[in-house]
Amino acid sequence: MSIAGWNTLTSETATNRALRVLRETTGGGGSWDGRLVLSENYLQLFRPGFTHKAVWGGRVTAKTTSIALYIILRMDAAYTVVAGLRKRHVSIKHTSRQALVKAIRMLGLWNRFEVVQNEIRNRVNGSFAFFQGLEHDSDEGTRGLDGVDIFWLDEARNVAHKDLMNVVRVIRERGAELICSWNPLDPEDPVEKLYRAGNPPQRTLLLETTQDDNPLFFASPAADEYWRLKEEDEAMWRHVYSGGYDIYKGERIYTAFKVAAVPERYLEGATCCVGLDLGYVDDPTVATKSWVNEKFGLIFIEKEAVGYGEDVEGINDLLMHVTGGDKSLTIISDNSEKRTTDDLKAMGWLIDTTRKNVDGKGVVDGIRHINGFPNKFIHPDCTETIEETKHYKWRVDRQGNRLSIPRKGHDHCWDSIRYAVMGRELVAQDDGIGVLRLPGW
């Protein structure tokens, strides 16, 4: 073979060289300063001859980090062009670039790479990675991808069938590969149908991951939530941590929302509500913008922005996306991270906070308030909110009776919306007495 970025690494010698660099960097034990262990399972990523590499599993299985390490080693072994793809490119902070930069540091290769705006370049052999989003309504997202050796489609579960197939069609270079990584949710998702419905494309590596691929996880504080959820709701635990589908049969909480844009005339005189739900280790941070018009009995969720592992700059980007940069809008946030909200205020945002763990207006009150609007709409671009709406459900008891307690999970967008719509009056009444967090939330 003489294909750029793949010709050398497909040989046994070059594959062994890449793995030798990996082992030398980790001192033979597979760990970087005790922060990560690369499992034997993930070493399969180095196997040549596969056009597709499908990597799925639950939370904290080290998917993103392990794939990033593989890609950086490929880029250092031979000239390689990498396209880091996601459904939507809100800003450079919301791409896979962060994972690749982390991998460079972990491997001690910082002197061989440089990070410039939307690219990562290898100073020695010219390898480079760039990042872009896939537009759901056009082919723009797949233009300019000719000559790419590795396509990494992260959070692939969110990608529409049309966009996924567009990426598959541009894998034209002999030896090029598409890596899709995701946390399973619904067997009807396009990436699930492509790889896990029993007839995957030829030359596909199917790689299911578990927490055993991230053995340091069980010694970390995050493991407490793992065990708590397993004890409290095993079906949800299988979905969140074991990569199972969300097959919970409880009743959906929001059943009457329509997916459509609302004409401008119905927004005249409406109240603009911006909410912010701050994420934790593996939960997303979500910013939303909604409109409430009492005259028409209308609630309209117009915009969303979702990010993982966001610092203050990343959260600022999320807010810029949903507000268009209008810092005159008041944002209702949870107060779980006072330093974060204080930093956002210092950046010019008007932030009011609602408390999560006090008596007062609760989650169920907010749900009832939102469901009380006769006309409920979600903009088609708010795909995460739409997905949450499908899977946000009431708990049921052992006899199958519905409880007036929402089930944990698939609630991050809706928490943001609820803060915005309900939190405004609560903040006005008191200094943040707000949203009740039920036990275990």
Domain ranges of the chain: 12-219, 258-429
Task: Give the other-Cβ count within 10 Å of 338's Cβ.
Answer: 9
Backbone phi, psi, residue 230, to 5°: -60, -40
Per-residue confidence (pLDDT) for residue 150, from 0 to 100: 96
User: What would the pLDDT profile of 213-263 be if each residue is shown by its tens digit?
Assistant: 987 788 888 788 889 888 877 877 888 889 988 766 668 899 899 999 999
Fold for the domain defined by 258-429: Nucleotidyltransferase; domain 5 (3.30.420)
Mark the ranges of the chain whose per-residue pLDDT is less than 70.
1-37, 90-94, 135-144, 173, 247-250, 281-282, 355-361, 400, 423-441
Per-residue confidence (pLDDT) for residue 5, from 0 to 100: 32
Q: How far apart, in Å, are the Cα atoms of 175 and each of 50, 163, 284? A: 8, 21, 35
Per-residue confidence (pLDDT) for residue 358, from 0 to 100: 39
Asked if domains 12-219 and 258-429 share a fold, the reply is: no
Query: Does the predicted TM-score (pTM) go above 0.75?
Result: no
Q: How far apart, in Å, are the Cα atoms of 150 and each of 130, 175, 188, 315, 414? A: 11, 9, 26, 29, 35
Query: Rounded to an integer, what distance in angstroms lies between the CA atom of residue 418 and that of residue 159?
Result: 26
Query: Rounded to an integer, what distance in angstroms lies between the CA atom of residue 63 and that of residue 55?
Result: 7
Per-residue confidence (pLDDT) for residue 124, from 0 to 100: 96
- 12-219 CATH: 3.40.50.300
Per-residue confidence (pLDDT) for residue 115, from 0 to 100: 93
Q: How far apart, in Å, are the Cα atoms of 120 and each of 75, 127, 317? A: 10, 8, 21
Per-residue confidence (pLDDT) for residue 23, from 0 to 100: 54
Angle at 291 between CA 287 and CA 295, to 5 degrees: 165
